[in-house]
């Protein structure tokens, strides 16, 4: 099992996913001479792209730091990593749903888009939870320099983010704004969890 | 001949292919306010994506372990690898056929989709067969640590999977369900063949 | 923080972006027997693709030389690099706007396309400015062999290119040709700035 | 100038290009129950994909062997490589033209598609010619082990293939079949030129 090929493959998937999201940014249909209005009305595409770029970017940073913990990998880590990448590639779909429904303003459709996004974010965090648990149960995979208490401290992070996304899914039918805030909150939480992990690894 | 560039190129193709499959996951056409129904009706797109992600993921794991056997490569390995990658990229097409026909429920069209998928899977296994045979005939390419009996044990695996896919092609006109089961069975077989290879290499 | 993974990820994003731009080069809609006229009328797609390929190519060369200056990276460099990649992926959108509006000849729409392109180029240069400033403030990240005066000499380059793009944005509403010339001038300036940086690093 | 980043970037572009070509393989428009006919009528898409996959695959093999000759690279090699990659990414366009016109059977449109393909192939070979000439004029870039006579022997290969593609362009207006044969002949010639280079380098 070579860690280098797992990282090359994962970096490839992250790089492709983060780049093809921009393909949703198409030339809008517009009446000749009125491109400006059409472009301005596309702000939701930019907003959704920014959100997902940030999200995937943070996930990549996480992946980057997390795999620096491994001294070696086994077959199960490879399989868990594939499952995680599967979950992450799905982000493309709710990103499109979000930009489309934000342009249409229908409340019920917006709810579907936000719930889909939060559900996939929940799934992604669940795959991180599985990987954390596996790593906890297999200390022999960890590189010696890593503080043994580190995983005791951070191992509840995926669970915490799952709760945030669950709250977002439950809140959205009552208030789209609250659901959206919780979703963005979950992504911001990832960023803090990343900083936390990154600082602990640097010590 | 540098093995490292062959692996970088192959990892790139696998990573791109597995990621662009998600582009089939488009926002459905829907009446405003009825996105939920339209999204739920897209389950075949998710099912087909999951199937092909698993399939390509397993093929990548296989490729990963198989090429760890090589101490060096020659021009023919490079050409066989290109042929294998060509066959694998074709998966994109029957994946789309499958998700479209599963949404339309026409029996004859479903048969076309399943037979196309199985035919391409058969072709992929045939390219693995060629590579196995070439590796068997050129023991000088193998790294010394590899158990010489390994290829005697596993060299019939591609042939076995080809038979499963052939059975799927023959069965589909009579029963789409049986054909589908055999197709999924072939992919599950790959997973077991991978575990088998992976365990033997780890010994 | 591993520089190698940052570079692998960035090279991936650059390579994907520069290649998917070609997807705008679609078969035109044409009457049977009149493909030639339709193909010839697509010259703006080629022109816009050439411009953006050159631009992204130069940015990649820049990235290539700039990161050879780093002896090590920290978390903020990683974040600034992500912001820079985000800005760069946006090029895909004004490239499409440009090729579409050049085929339609409407003056107002052309202005929107050129202003969008220049605005994103301005944003990209701003992210380079941030990275240059960070590198200036953190000399410990620099590799010892690099001439300490180098960043004093080149640190105004991003600001200069930002001024060119600002001039292009201001000029376009009055004269599309002048705005276009300034935009192209900005990209040519990048090339000279790259040659300048590259020569200084080679000394 | 790091050769490793040039190779990583180039491998990325080749891998992406060869994989996104498969995106032309879309589900055809068909009447429910008649998918089979529609799929069979798509043979030109498969034929065009096969041709371009082979062509790009051979170009990648060429690139692979050619750059093994370099002990170091300079800025101009980087720029020539970018120009070469630009020319190669353009293949995507005539590949689509070819598959569309082969499905429509209009003689004049077919001529446009074949001439476009051959023109871009001519351009690609021209960029190889430039790189060969540059390498010939800068022997200091070559690694010592390379036979100094090698480039005397092979340096006319790009010129030869340019002549074949020129012949294809001239022949197509008179006979589409002859033009097509010459185009395929040019790609087969690349393969022989590659074998020739590869064997000389292995000695």
- Provide the chain D residues 143-202 that lie in CB contact (below 8 A) with chain C: none
C-beta atoms of D15 and B12 within 8 A = yes
- Provide the chain D residues 13-52 that lie in CB contact (below 8 A) with chain C: 13, 16-17, 20, 23
Residue scoring higher pLDDT (D51 or A196) = D51
Q: Show pLDDT as tens, one digit a residue, over chain B (203 residues).
A: 578 888 888 999 999 999 999 888 889 989 998 999 999 999 999 999 999 999 999 999 989 888 888 888 888 999 999 999 999 999 999 999 999 999 988 999 999 999 999 999 999 999 999 998 898 888 888 876 777 777 777 778 899 999 999 999 999 999 999 999 999 999 999 999 888 888 877 65
B172 CA to chain A: closest CA distance, Å? 29
| CB contact D11 to B (< 8 Å) | yes
Is the pLDDT assigned to residue D151 strictly greater than 90? Answer: no
C-beta atoms of B86 and D27 within 8 A = no
B45 CA to chain A: closest CA distance, Å? 11
B10 CA to chain A: closest CA distance, Å? 9
Question: What is the structure's pLDDT at B56?
Answer: 96
CB-nearest partner of A16 from B15, B33, B64 = B15
CB-nearest partner of B27 from A12, A85, A100 = A100
C-beta atoms of D5 and C20 within 8 A = no
Among A21, A92, A93, A96, which would you mutate to test the B interface (most chain B Cβ atoms within 10 Å of its Cβ)? A93
Question: What is the structure's pLDDT at D1?
Answer: 54
Residue carrying the six token digits 């208030």: A175
Mean pLDDT value across residues D184-195: 92
Which chain B positions have a beta carbon within 8 Å of D3's beta carbon? Answer: none
C-beta atoms of B57 and A82 within 8 A = yes
Is the pLDDT assigned to residue C152 strictly greater than 90? Answer: no
pLDDT band for D88, please (50, 70, 90 cuts): very high
pLDDT digits (tens, 9 = 90+) for A15-27: 999 999 988 888 9
Tell me the angle at which helices C157-171 and C176-202 cross, rounded to the nearest 10 degrees. Answer: 170
Is the pLDDT assigned to residue C54 strictly greater than 90? Answer: yes
Closest residue in D to C25 (Cα) is: D93
B61 CA to chain D: closest CA distance, Å? 18
Of B40, B23, B46, B111, the C-alpha closest to D26 is: B23
The radius of gyration of chain C from alpha carbons, rounded to an integer in Å, stands at 19
Question: What is the structure's pLDDT at D55?
Answer: 96
B60 CA to chain A: closest CA distance, Å? 9
Residue scoring higher pLDDT (C139 or B186) = B186
Question: Could you give the C-alpha distances from C125 to A47, B17, C118, D115, D143, in angstroms and in order?
Answer: 21, 32, 10, 40, 38
- Opening angle at CA C81, ends C79 and C86, nearest 5: 95
Helix spans in chain B (H): 3-20, 35-40, 43-66, 75-89, 92-104, 107-137, 150-154, 157-171, 176-202
Question: What is the structure's pLDDT at A1?
Answer: 54
C-beta atoms of A60 and C9 within 8 A = yes
Q: What is the mean pLDDT of chain B?
A: 90
Mean pLDDT value across residues C29-57: 93
Question: What is the structure's pLDDT at D24?
Answer: 85
The ipTM value here is 0.91
Question: What is the structure's pLDDT at A111?
Answer: 95
Question: What is the structure's pLDDT at C183?
Answer: 96
Which chain A positions have a beta carbon within 8 Å of B201's beta carbon? Answer: none
- Rounded percentage of chain A residues whose pLDDT exceeds 70: 97
Among A112, A116, A173, A176, which would you mutate to test the B interface (most chain B Cβ atoms within 10 Å of its Cβ)? A112
C-alpha dihedral, C74 to C79 to C80 to C82, nearest 10°: 130
Which chain A positions have a beta carbon within 8 Å of C16's beta carbon? Answer: 15-16, 19-20
pLDDT band for D8, please (50, 70, 90 cuts): confident
Per the CB < 8 A criterion, the answer to whether D123 and D132 are in contact is no
Taken in order C176, C179, C182, C183, is the CA torsion positive or negative?
Answer: negative
C-beta atoms of B89 and D8 within 8 A = no
Q: What is the mean pLDDT of chain C?
A: 90
Question: What is the structure's pLDDT at D66?
Answer: 86
Question: What is the structure's pLDDT at C1?
Answer: 54
Structure-token pair, residue C42 = 């697509």
What is the greatest pairwise CA distance in chain B? Answer: 65
pLDDT band for A8, please (50, 70, 90 cuts): confident
CB-nearest partner of B92 from D22, D39, D198 = D22
Mean pLDDT value across residues D26-38: 91
- Provide the chain C residues 75-94 that lie in CB contact (below 8 A) with chain A: 75, 78-79, 82, 85-86, 89-90, 92-93
Which chain C positions have a beta carbon within 8 Å of A53's beta carbon? Answer: 86, 89
pLDDT band for C154, please (50, 70, 90 cuts): confident
pLDDT digits (tens, 9 = 90+) for C93-137: 999 999 999 998 899 999 999 999 999 999 999 999 999 889 888
pLDDT band for A135, please (50, 70, 90 cuts): confident
- Rounded percentage of chain A residues whose pLDDT exceeds 90: 61
For chain D, the 3-state helix, strand and coil shares in percent, each to the nearest 5, are 80, 0, 20
D183 CA to chain C: closest CA distance, Å? 19
Which chain B positions have a beta carbon within 8 Å of A12's beta carbon? Answer: 11-12, 14-16, 19
Q: What is the mean pLDDT of chain A?
A: 90
Mean pLDDT value across residues C148-161: 81
pLDDT band for D145, please (50, 70, 90 cuts): confident
Is the pLDDT assigned to residue A203 strictly greater than 70? Answer: no
CB-nearest partner of D19 from B5, B89, B116 = B89
pLDDT band for D137, please (50, 70, 90 cuts): confident
**Neighbours, chain D (3 or more CB pairs < 8 A):** B, C
DSSP secondary structure, chain C, as one string: --HHHHHHHHHHHHHHHHHHGGGG-PPPP--TT-HHHHHHTTHHHHHHHHHHHHHHHHHHHHHHHHTTSBS---HHHHHHHHHHHHHHHTTHHHHHHHHHHHHH--HHHHHHHHHHHHHHHHHHHHHHHHHHHHHHH-GGGB-TTS-TTHHHHHTTHHHHHHHHHHHHHHHTTT-HHHHHHHHHHHHHHHHHHHHHHHHHHH-
- Report d(CA C121, CA D132) in Å as an integer: 34
Is the pLDDT assigned to residue C174 strictly greater than 70? Answer: yes
What separation, in Å, do the N-terminal and C-terminal C-alpha atoms of chain C show?
28
C-beta atoms of A25 and C92 within 8 A = yes
């Amino acid at each position: 099992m070579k860690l280098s090929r797992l990282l090359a493959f994962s970096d490839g998937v992250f790089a492709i996913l983060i780049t093809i999201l921009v393909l949703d940014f198409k030339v809008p249909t517009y009446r000749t001479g009125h491109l400006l209005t059409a472009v301005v009305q596309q702000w939701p595409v930019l907003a959704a792209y920014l959100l997902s770029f940030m999200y995937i970017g943070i996930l990549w940073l996480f992946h980057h730091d997390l795999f620096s913990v491994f001294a070696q990998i086994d077959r199960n880590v490879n399989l868990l990593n594939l499952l995680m990448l599967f979950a992450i590639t799905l982000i493309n779909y709710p990103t499109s749903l979000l930009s489309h429904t934000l342009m249409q303003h229908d409340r019920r459709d917006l709810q579907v888009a936000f719930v889909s996004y939060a559900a996939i974010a929940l799934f992604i965090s669940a795959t991180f939870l599985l990987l954390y648990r596996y790593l906890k149960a297999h200390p022999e995979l960890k590189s010696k320099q890593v503080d043994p208490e580190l995983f005791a401290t951070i191992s509840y992070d995926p669970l915490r983010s799952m709760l945030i996304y669950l709250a977002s899914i439950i809140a959205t039918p009552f208030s789209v704004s609250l659901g959206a805030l919780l979703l963005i909150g979950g992504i911001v939480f990832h960023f803090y969890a990343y900083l936390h992990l990154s600082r602990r690894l640097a010590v």
